[in-house]
Amino acid sequence: MRTDNAYEWQRLYEAAILETDRSRLPELIAAAQAAIDERSEKLQLVREGKASGSTAGDGIADEKQAIEDALGGLRILSKEIY
């Protein structure tokens, strides 16, 4: 079962992708990256059985794929601004 904050990283990612003010992009990309990294660590702990949370059948694979896709989007966005 997905909790409301399971995809907090996604809101930050979307804010970065949709931002039109290029001067704000580095800050938004960094915030999205940090949130993705934090969530990835939590998912890894759940996978290893070291944290409570979703089980393998609760969409972890789907979220991990969404994270991979988002990371690809952030890499492209970063290349465009630097």
Q: What is the pLDDT of residue 11?
A: 96
Q: Is residue 46 part of a domain?
A: yes
Q: Is residue 69 part of a domain?
A: yes
Q: Is residue 1 part of a domain?
A: no
Q: Is residue 75 part of a domain?
A: yes
Report the number of distinct structural domains present in the chain.
1
Q: Is residue 2 part of a domain?
A: no
Give 13-64 pLDDT, tens digit per residue: 999 999 999 999 999 999 999 999 999 999 999 888 876 655 555 688 899 9
Q: Is residue 20 part of a domain?
A: yes
Mean pLDDT across 54-78:
87
* Ranges assigned E (strand) in 3-78: none
Contacts with 35 (C-beta within 8 Å, 6 or more apart), sequence order: 8, 9, 12, 13
**By residue range, what is the domain housing residue 27?**
8-81
Q: What is the pLDDT of residue 7?
A: 83
Q: Which of the four pLDDT bands, split at 50, 70 and 90, describes residue 1?
A: very low
